[in-house]
Amino acid sequence: RILIIDFGSQVTQLIARRIREAGVYSEIVPFQSADKALDWPGLKGIILSGGPASVHEGGSPRAPERVFTRGLPVLGICYGEQTMCAQLGGKVEPSDHREFGKAFVEVKEANALFDGVWEKDERHQVWMSHGDRVSAIPSGFKAIATSEGAPFAAIADEQRQFYATQFHMEVVHTPDGAKLLANFARDICGCKGDWSMAHFKSEMVHKIKKQVGLDRVICGLSGGVDSAVTAVLIHEAIGEQLTCIFVDHGLMRLNEADEVVRLFREAYNIPLVHVDASKLFLRELEGVTDPEKKRKIIGKLFIDVFEAEAKKIGGAAYLAQGTLYPDVIESVSFTGGPSVTIKSHHNVGGLPERMNMKLVEPLRELFKDEVRLLGKELGLPPHFVGRHPFPGPGLAIRIPHDDITQEKLDILRKADAIYLDEIRKAGLYDAIWQAFAVLLPVRTVGVMGDGRTYDRVLGLRAVTSTDGMTAESYPFDHAFLARVATRIINEVKGVSRVVYDVTSKPPGTIEWE
Ligand code: XMP
């Protein structure tokens, strides 16, 4: 396996994902606790991630010295390159030619990292994001690629098998990056490349058994794919030691709550407590318009209701959560990690400390599409695992800048169901990452029959994405959008106008609040 030492980059997890795609097992460890990991049995190589620090700052992170004396191949990426150079006797300085975004490198020397991918003298697109740059390389190294802003865009000491790049090869904007990482994992480190989701499943089943022992586990089902996959995986590991609690906040899409209950009780025979708390949620959300407040209220209520039910069941030492990697990275204020908070997702943090329970989070390293693969591996129905992601706070954050009432929820739910129905009929559901309707706090005039209406505006959103971290608006044809608009206005009382959102992420987010 490969050890990835994390210096806090937003995209460290993408390195792990690319290594998994190359059929190699990897684990990420924060730099503070990396020294111990260097003694892992079967360790074949080390990757140093990027990170927000500058090697010039006092106290900025360093790789444990043993990284360079263990006799294993090492790959440094961005900050990883800089700290590697600083630690091995090279020089890093602040650059007046900062590079952010797309850049081109010129290949200077053939080497094992580029083998079969890039040849000498070729120019290739890469993704850069750095202020500092390496200005002198340690002895034993040579430049293997250069860019305008970075004379040492890629360097290698082939004898010691140390490689480093200033560019981020883990992101899709470095089109050949995945191949370079596969070269490192397989050819340079000598990993076999036969690891798959089936291995992940059996390793996780093993880990869960070992972690939990004979204790009981409670899993909160949200109705979405992530918590369902978590529950089925844990059920496979420990069977009847698992109980699921489904806190139904009444903010789900049309018919979804029933579907989940049926799937768990009938298809899987997993013990499930279904709590209909919709009235309570509506009452507590009354008059609240601020999105972060909505999230906090929903998160807190969810915890309260869940906790009360869990107490009734009693005796569970573990709490299972379907936290995915993007939840972790976008909720780091809860987990104390080094990158920046964007939105406080309610499904991470708080609960285990309060309930004095330990956490089981088997999906923490995975991206959505990997969770779907795992779900299929576990035998969940394809239409279920293929469902678009749905935020924990549900429809409450799809009535932006407005308070939540039953009436608004009903309008939104109906319109959303029509939109999704048309998307399915057009055969576009699986090509889209996430599609949903948003009920706006704006009234506009319409004419219906002989009368004037003064009803709400409904926004439609559909995006493509591979991991939810970046997204593009889906390019529906006009006739499709017009058909959806007509159906919604005809069939849903309370909507007089429909608009389509064409914003990408970034700068927009997927949800409207
Ligand atoms: P954004 O809107 O941040 O969304 O681009 C990225 C992904 O996260 C989902 N999302 C949430 N999920 N609780 C969740 O569980 C939340 O508060 C939340 N906000 C956004 C969003 O649907 C998309 O899949």
372 with 420, same domain: the answer is no
The verdict on whether residue 225 carries a ligand-binding annotation is: yes
133 and 92 in contact (C-beta within 8 Å)?
yes
Which of 334, 351, 385 is where one domain is finished? 385
Q: Write out the residue range of the structural domain in which residue 54 sits.
A: 2-188
Number of H helices, E strands in the chain: 16, 18
Q: Rounded to the nearest whole angstrom, what is the distance from the C-alpha of residue 50 to the centroid of ligand 1? A: 25
Q: Which residues pair with 162 in a beta bridge?
A: 74, 157
Q: Rounded to the nearest whole angstrom, what is the distance from the C-alpha of residue 462 to the centroid of ligand 1? A: 14
Tell me if 332 is assigned to some domain: yes
Residue nearest to atom 17 of ligand 1 (CA): 345
261 with 325, same domain: the answer is yes
**pLDDT of 330 strictly over 60:** no
228 with 368, same domain: the answer is yes
Mean pLDDT of 95-100: 76
**What residues flank ligand 1, with Cβ below 6 Å?**
295, 343, 345-347, 389, 391-393, 434, 468, 505, 509-511
Q: Which residues pair with 318 in a beta bridge?
A: 217, 358
Give the model's confidence band at 4: pLDDT under 50 very low, under 70 low, under 90 confident, else very high.
very high
CA distances (Å), origin 241, targets 215, 222, 268, 402: 7, 20, 14, 42
pLDDT, position 181:
98
The verdict on whether residue 228 carries a ligand-binding annotation is: yes
317 with 411, same domain: the answer is no
Give the model's confidence band at 354: pLDDT under 50 very low, under 70 low, under 90 confident, else very high.
confident
Tell me if 195 is assigned to some domain: no
256 with 288, same domain: the answer is yes
Residue nearest to atom 12 of ligand 1 (CA): 391
* N residues, the chain: 513
Which of 356, 385, 414 is where one domain is finished? 385
**pLDDT of 83 strictly over 60:** yes
318 with 423, same domain: the answer is no
CA distances (Å), origin 251, targets 276, 354, 392, 440: 11, 25, 9, 16
Tell me if 493 is assigned to some domain: yes
252 with 365, same domain: the answer is yes
6 with 36, same domain: the answer is yes
Tell me if 151 is assigned to some domain: yes
Closest C-alpha to 363, from 336, 325, 390, 309? 325
Closest C-alpha to 344, from 273, 407, 288, 296? 296
Q: Rounded to the nearest whole angstrom, what is the distance from the C-alpha of residue 356 to the centroid of ligand 1? A: 27
Ligand 1 pocket test, pick from 295, 387, 511 with the greatest ligand atom count within 8 Å of Cβ, gives 511
Ligand 1 pocket test, pick from 295, 321, 510, 513 with the greatest ligand atom count within 8 Å of Cβ, gives 510
Tell me if 510 is assigned to some domain: no
62 with 166, same domain: the answer is yes
Residues 6+ apart with CB under 8 A from 429: 386, 388, 420, 423, 435
**pLDDT of 346 strictly over 60:** no
Helix extents (H) in 445-499: 478-491
Distance CA 92, CA 81 (A): 10
Tell me if 443 is assigned to some domain: yes
Mean pLDDT of 221-228: 88
Q: Which residue of the set 81, 85, 99, 168 is catalytic?
A: 168
429 φψ region: left (φ > 0), alpha (ψ -120 to 50), beta (else): alpha
Query: Radius of gyration (Cα) for the chain, nearest Å?
Result: 25
pLDDT, position 492:
97
Distance CA 122, CA 488 (A): 53
Residues 6+ apart with CB under 8 A from 273: 243, 244, 245, 246, 309, 313
- CATH at residue 316: 3.40.50.620
Give the model's confidence band at 329: pLDDT under 50 very low, under 70 low, under 90 confident, else very high.
low
**pLDDT of 308 strictly over 80:** yes
Atom of ligand 1 nearest to the CA of 344: 17
Ligand 1 pocket test, pick from 285, 327, 339, 343 with the greatest ligand atom count within 8 Å of Cβ, gives 343
- CATH at residue 170: 3.40.50.880
The verdict on whether residue 248 carries a ligand-binding annotation is: no
The verdict on whether residue 224 carries a ligand-binding annotation is: yes
Give the model's confidence band at 113: pLDDT under 50 very low, under 70 low, under 90 confident, else very high.
very high
Closest C-alpha to 108, from 162, 154, 164, 165? 154
Tell me if 329 is assigned to some domain: yes
- List pLDDT tens digits, range 425-478: 999 999 999 999 999 999 999 988 888 999 999 999 999 998 788 899 999 999
pLDDT, position 110:
96
452 with 360, same domain: the answer is no
pLDDT, position 98:
74
Mean model confidence pLDDT for the chain = 92
Q: Which residue has the higher pLDDT, 365 or 87?
A: 87
287 φψ region: left (φ > 0), alpha (ψ -120 to 50), beta (else): left
Mean pLDDT of 294-298: 94
Mean pLDDT of 361-371: 90
The verdict on whether residue 226 carries a ligand-binding annotation is: yes
pLDDT, position 142:
97
Residue nearest to atom 4 of ligand 1 (CA): 510
279 with 331, same domain: the answer is yes
162 phi/psi in degrees, rounded to 5: -105, 130
- List pLDDT tens digits, range 34-46: 999 999 999 999 9
Tell me if 422 is assigned to some domain: yes
Distance CA 51, CA 12 (A): 8
Neighbours of 342 (CB within 10 A): 15
In angstroms, the first-to-last Cα distance of the chain is 40
Model's pTM, two decimal places? Answer: 0.76
pLDDT, position 350:
63
260 with 128, same domain: the answer is no
Residue nearest to atom 9 of ligand 1 (CA): 391
Closest C-alpha to 390, from 426, 345, 351? 345
Judge whether 244 counts as a catalytic residue.
no
Judge whether 168 counts as a catalytic residue.
yes
Q: Which residue has the higher pLDDT, 355 or 7?
A: 7
Judge whether 170 counts as a catalytic residue.
yes
**pLDDT of 134 strictly over 60:** yes
410 and 252 in contact (C-beta within 8 Å)?
no
**pLDDT of 333 strictly over 60:** no
- List pLDDT tens digits, range 24-79: 999 899 999 999 999 999 999 999 999 999 998 888 999 999 999 999 999 999 99
388 phi/psi in degrees, rounded to 5: -60, 150
**pLDDT of 244 strictly over 90:** yes
- CATH at residue 482: 3.30.300.10
Atom of ligand 1 nearest to the CA of 511: 2
Which of 159, 188, 217 is where one domain is finished? 188
Q: Rounded to the nearest whole angstrom, what is the distance from the C-alpha of residue 512 to the centroid of ligand 1? A: 10
The total of structural domains in the chain comes to 3
